[in-house]
Amino acid sequence: MATRNRYEDLARSVSAIGAVKRGLARVLPVECQGGAAATLALVKHHGDMRMSRLAELMAVDMSVCSRHVAHTVEHGWIERLPDPDDKRSRILRLTEPGHAMLGELDRRVTEAFSRHLSEWSDDDVELLTHLLVRLRESFGDCRAQAHHA
């Protein structure tokens, strides 16, 4: 039997991360699933921004981004403010309820990891975290690369 390429098992394991992501999605509040949660997290991480910047960060079409933003605005988690540099544009800003929802999302995801990884040692959790960060960094900014493919 031929020796497997060292990346074949890795490819299978990484594709199985979808099951982990689906499990985490099940613990999120019904009103704040994937796209809305990503919107909140990106605005918190990157600060106030235009919708075009958010669409770029999410690597989605403006129409998709617009739906996610509309959902978060309807729930009061994001507000649209006039852009002082361009009155036709709006700046997205996280509201206090948005910060509270992010806190709830973090709490739920942390509890899910705690439940599912309770048998893991602290060293194993730390190693997995380190390796996932390293894996992500090895891929760089995939959004920029996608435009050159």
Q: What are phi and psi for residue 87, nearest 5 degrees?
A: -60, -15
Q: What are the pLDDT digits (tens) for 26-80?
A: 999 999 999 999 999 999 999 999 999 999 999 999 999 999 999 999 999 999 9
Q: What is the pTM of this model?
A: 0.81
Give the DSSP H/E element, type plus range, for residue 81: strand 78-83
Q: Tell me if residue 22 falls in helix, strand or coil.
A: helix
- Nearest Cα to Cα of residue 29 among 115, 114, 112: 112
Q: Average pLDDT over the chain, rounded to whole?
A: 90
Q: What are the pLDDT digits (tens) for 70-98?
A: 999 999 999 999 988 888 889 999 999 99
Cβ 124 vs Cβ 132: under 8 Å: no
Order of strands, sheet of 78-83, starting from the edge strand that comes earlier in the sequence = 49-50, 86-94, 78-83
